[in-house]
Amino acid sequence: MSFEVTEVVKQQVRRFFTEPQVGAVIAELERADLPLINNNGERVHLALLIMSRGNIETFRQQLDSAKIDWRDTLVTAGLAHEDWPDALRRAGVSGFKEPSHK
């Protein structure tokens, strides 16, 4: 299932990648067939960007892994536990969709 690339994710793509790479990264996220639970798409996309650290090959490798099991992506990025909003803030990410069950 593909998942909408949010404005927050697009901002982070611009933060991590060079201008010539931005369009390709966004397109790859838009096309990615990820088995996502509805409320985790943005978090998985942000995890991929954080883990890639702006390296396009690492991004693609991590994206391929997420297509197999996105939960491993969240674990590897440190975004699998209830404190994931704090982990994103520590990584310099803001404006993301937080869970409403706090």
The reported pLDDT for the residue numbered 28 is 96
pTM of the model as a whole? 0.89
Where residue 74 falls among pLDDT bands split at 50, 70, 90? very high
Please state, for a pLDDT cut of 70, what percent of the chain lies above it.
93
Q: Which residue has the tokens 């997420």?
A: 66
CA distance 75 to 47: 9
- 8 in Cβ contact with 42 (< 8 Å): yes
Report the distance separating Cα 83 and Cα 24, nearest Å. 30
Contact predicate 42/97, CB 8 Å: yes
Phi-psi map region of 95: left, alpha, beta (phi>0 left; psi -120 to 50 alpha): left
Average pLDDT over residues 16-24: 96
Quote the tokens at residue 58: 């690492």
Q: What pLDDT shows up at residue 39?
A: 67
The pLDDT of residue 75 is above 60: yes
| Segment 43-63, tens digit of pLDDT | 999 999 999 999 999 999 999
- Quote the CA–CA distance of 96 and 7 in Å, as a whole number: 9
